Structure 1
C-alpha cells in the first residue's frame, strides 16, 4: 500500500485520457525521480498553459493572444475555411503542410444521445464568418456517427447561405479520429473531398 500523498499523485495522473492505474503509477514514480528544477519547470508550464492559453476569438484554435498564429498569418487563404471538431484535428491537418486556408474549431460534435446539441458547439460563430468572401467551407469532422451528423447539419445551414460546402473524402476509416491519422491519409482525404449532397 502506497502512502496517501503518493496515491493522490497517482490519481492526478489517472485523470489523463487513456492512463490506467499502472501507467499512472509509472508516471508518479518517474515524477519523483525529477530534480527540483524539472519539477518547477513542469509546474510553471502547467500554470502558464492553464492561465495564458484560451480560444482564438475568430476560429476557436488555441491562442496566447486574441488571435491564434494561423488567423494572424496574412499568407493564409481566408476565403477557404476548414471546419474541425477539436484543436487536435486542426494540428493533424497542419502537419500535412498541404492546406493553406483557415480553420474553424467546433469544440465538439452534435450528439443528441450525449445531450450535445447544435447550440452547445461553436456553430453560430462559423455561420457568422460565412459571408460573400468565403469560396468554400471544407467540413472535416471525424467519420463517426456524431461527425457525420454534424457534417450534414452544417451542410444544410451553409446551403441556405449559398456557401459551397465540401466534405473531406473518406480516406479515413469510419470511427477513426483525425489526430490519429498519418499525414498521407489526411492529404488524400483533403484531395478527394466532395460536395455535400
Structure 2
C-alpha cells in the first residue's frame, strides 16, 4: 500500500513539474521580456548634452563635408578633427541604407580609441533568426548599443569593427557578436561594417574630444 502511495506521489510530482515546464515554455516570450526589463540596464539613449556624444544634423553634415573636402586639396591640412555631431553625420550617411533604415535616433559616443553607436533598432526589419535565443527578450523597437574600432580599409571605405553589442541593456555574449553584426549591421565576413568615406581619408583616430581624419597614413600603423 505504501509503495503504491509513494508511486502515485512521484507520478503526481512528475506531472506537476511537466505542467510547470510546459507553461514556462508556452509563455517564454513574455517571461523573458519581463526578465529583460527587470535585469537589463537603462534603456535610455545617451544625451547629446554630453560633449562626447553626437547626433546627425544638417549643420553637422555640411561642416563635416567641408572639413573632409579640405583634405582633397594640395594646400589643405594633413588632418581635420570632426566633432561628435559631425562623426555621427558621417556614420549615418556612410552606412548602407538597407541597414541605416533599421535605426532611429542615431547617437555616436566617442571613447578613447573606440566608437560607440547608440540607436533604436526596429527588430521587425531584421532577417528571421537574427537574434536567435534572444528574440523572445525584445520588443518591436529596442535600444541598441554597438562598440568597436574604426580603421580605413580601401580608399573610400572605413571599417567599423564591432566587438560589443547590447540590446535593451543586455550584453550579447562574445561568440554571437560577429554573427549578429552580419545580419543587424551589414557586416562583412570579418565582422566589420563598411562605412563610405571620402577617398582622401587614409587614416583615423578616435578621441573623446573628436575624431581625427588624416590625409596621409601615420607612421606606426
State the TM-score, normalizing by the size of structure 2. 0.24
Larger Rg: 2
More helix by share: 1
State the TM-score, normalizing by the size of structure 1. 0.26
More relative contact order, 1 or 2 (CA 8 Å, 6+ apart): 2
